A and B are shown apart, each in its own frame.
Chain A
Amino acid sequence: MKCVVDYGKCTGLGICESLAPDFFEVNDDGDLELLKEDIAPDELQAVEEAVAGCPTEALSIER
């Protein structure tokens, strides 16, 4: 499973970072950096929370 960011939608609000910091980090310019793509089974819940929590619906999981 892979985590996918739609950079056209993301506005760098960072909610994903607080929910899944191993995957997401917003840099000083306010841009989101995806730290890793592949989701291990025990990481799925955190990434799912980030997907649901993103206010711009910029995140998805490719199964």
Chain B
Amino acid sequence: MVDSTSRLPTQPRRLVVVGASLAGLRAVEAARKAGFDGEIVLVGAEPHLPYDRPPLSKAFLDRAVAGEGLAPPPYFRTAETMCELGVELRLGVPASGLDTDRRVVLVGDEEVAYDALVIATGAQPRMLPGVEGLAGVHALRTLDDSIAVREALEAGARTVVVGAGFIGSEVAATARKRGLEATIVEALPTPLVRATGREMGAAIAALHERNGTTLRCGTGVRAIEGDGRVERVVLEDGTTIPADLVVVGIGVVPSVGWLAGSGLTLDNGIVCDENLWTGVPGVYAAGDVANWVNPLLGERQRMENWTAAAEQGAAAARNALDPEHARPYGTVPYFWSDWYDVRIQFVGSPDADEVLLVDGDPDGGSRWVALYRRSDRLIGALTVNGQGEIMKYRGQIMKRGSWADALVFAEKRRELARQKAAAAAG
């Protein structure tokens, strides 16, 4: 590998960030916060100012609140704020190529030159084949997707969600909240295994049935049919489900198509070292597109969560502007999801030797805490309605806490809860 500082004799004067979403925004803000006073260009494929995605499958889809109307788009910043930051926005045209020898990004038919480059092009949803041109079938990644889904929900759509992941589950929960029929179809026998492991995947999925959403696992989709507009979903086993809205939530792929032939190493995203450096002078990556080595878990990972995208955006920009003092980025991964009246939170890694329930009861209960063990270490924690517990375990994983200590701590927490309950009972 080339030294990251070679061919960069002077301080970078021009930072280009490609991808104008969470990671890209945090990159430009961190650059300014670090005192960088050179030019900054932020290139984004979407016409919109940077906006927040988690609400798009949650509150943004909700019914109008009396007197307030539907939720406004969750923009992070106004155009004026971006202007005050001294950021040149180039929105609405995707970058289509990168020449790392000449240090230029191709945007439309223009070349945008950089000294330092942060790539934050995120990920895009996988789509089912054969649904192009069929109205009422949507992925859910962008503001435009969410507006279209909300319109269908407003019209009272019978909703079918393909894929029982977090985003699809949130959409189904929203549809139920509006009193609409909702069905989730999942090809695998158990949902959420990759994110939370087998035992907990099944337990969390059971929340759907309890809230009136039909969950059909172990059956793929054979066809989505309709005359110009979706009318039904046909499953592999021949079942037909009538539908006015189909939301496809079968995962995302990192947006790296535009980097073909650029010389960057592409393998499940952009391959980076622990400093988020791509190995090409001046070029760093951040967010859902970055496949980096997480020193805290000692694993190569690509995250698809808010916290990592925000933090990596900032870290990549700081490192890109001052490679000599680059600092590794490590994190204990964290994500949350809100369904019905339940908040699901997960920290760490689900890749464990043992999963142990330490509080509550998934069978019928809507609050529980599970810990994940890898050899003699605490490696992950899942809480369902356990907001008071989850971050204490994140702290322990950060400090590489042992499994034995985690169990002692869990017992202490149970004892504390018993005392509180006893006091409350008088």
Q: Which residues from A are CB-within-8-Å of B54? A: 55
B387 touches A28 (CB 8 A): yes
A18 touches B345 (CB 8 A): no
Q: Which residues from A are CB-within-8-Å of B311? A: 52-53
Query: CB of B104 within 8 A of chain A?
Result: no
B398 touches A18 (CB 8 A): yes
Given contacts A15-B334, A18-B394, A21-B395, contact A52 B310 (CB under 8 A): yes
Query: CB of B314 within 8 A of chain A?
Result: yes
- Nearest Cβ on chain B to A32's Cβ, whole angstroms: 9
Given contacts A53-B310, A55-B307, contact A27 B398 (CB under 8 A): no
B336 touches A26 (CB 8 A): no
Q: Which residues from B are CB-within-8-Å of A13? A: 336, 345
Q: Which residues from B are CB-within-8-Å of A29? A: 387-388
Query: CB of B306 within 8 A of chain A?
Result: yes
Q: B interface, how many residues as a size bin?
A: 20 to 34
Quick one: which of A11-35 are within 8 Å of B by CB? 12-15, 17-18, 21, 25-30
Given contacts A21-B395, A52-B314, contact A15 B307 (CB under 8 A): yes
Q: Which residues from A are CB-within-8-Å of B116? A: none
Q: Which residues from B are CB-within-8-Å of A30? A: 343, 385, 387-388
Bound CA–CA A52/B22 (angstroms) = 12
- Nearest Cβ on chain B to A38's Cβ, whole angstroms: 22
Quick one: which of B361-398 are within 8 Å of A by CB? 385-388, 390-392, 394-395, 398
Bitwise interface map of A from 20 to 63 toward B, beta carbon under 8 Å scored 1, else 0 = 01000111111000000000000000000000110100000000
Bound CA–CA A15/B390 (angstroms) = 10
Select which of A14, A21, A53 is within 8 A of B390 by beta carbon: A14
B391 touches A27 (CB 8 A): no
Interface centre among A13, A15, A25, A52 (most CB of B within 10 A): A13
Q: Which residues from B are CB-within-8-Å of A21? A: 391-392, 395
Q: Which residues from B are CB-within-8-Å of A52? A: 310-311, 314
A26 and chain B: residue at smallest CB distance: B387
* Residue total for A at the interface (Cβ-Cβ under 8 A): 16
- Nearest Cβ on chain B to A17's Cβ, whole angstroms: 4
A55 touches B310 (CB 8 A): yes
Q: Which residues from A are CB-within-8-Å of B387? A: 12, 14, 26-30
Q: Which residues from B are CB-within-8-Å of A15? A: 307, 334, 391
B310 touches A14 (CB 8 A): no
Q: Which residues from A are CB-within-8-Å of B388? A: 25-30
- Nearest Cβ on chain B to A16's Cβ, whole angstroms: 8
- Nearest Cβ on chain A to B323's Cβ, whole angstroms: 21
Interface centre among A14, A26, A28, A30 (most CB of B within 10 A): A14
- Nearest Cβ on chain A to B395's Cβ, whole angstroms: 5
Interface centre among B307, B385, B398 (most CB of A within 10 A): B307
Q: Which residues from B are CB-within-8-Å of A25? A: 388
Bound CA–CA A14/B310 (angstroms) = 15
- Nearest Cβ on chain A to B146's Cβ, whole angstroms: 17
B314 touches A18 (CB 8 A): no
Bound CA–CA A52/B391 (angstroms) = 17
A17 touches B310 (CB 8 A): no
Q: Which residues from A are CB-within-8-Å of B345? A: 13-14
Q: Which residues from A are CB-within-8-Å of B52? A: 55
Bitwise interface map of B from 59 to 102 toward A, beta carbon under 8 Å scored 1, else 0 = 00000000000000000000000000000000000000000000
Q: Which residues from A are CB-within-8-Å of B336? A: 13
A18 touches B334 (CB 8 A): yes
A selection of 11 A-B contacts at a CB cut-off of 8 Å is A13-B336, A14-B345, A14-B390, A14-B394, A15-B307, A17-B392, A18-B334, A21-B391, A55-B52, A55-B306, A55-B307
Q: Sorted from nearest, which 4 A-B pairs have the closest CB atoms?
A: A17-B391, A30-B387, A18-B394, A28-B388
Q: Could you tell me which B residues sit within 8 Å of A by CB distance?
A: 52, 54, 306-307, 310-311, 314, 332, 334, 336, 343, 345, 347, 385-388, 390-392, 394-395, 398, 417
Give 15 A-B pairs besides A27-B387, A28-B388 with Cβ atoms closer than 8 angstroms: A12-B387, A14-B390, A14-B391, A17-B392, A18-B395, A21-B391, A26-B391, A29-B387, A29-B388, A30-B343, A30-B387, A52-B310, A53-B307, A53-B310, A55-B310
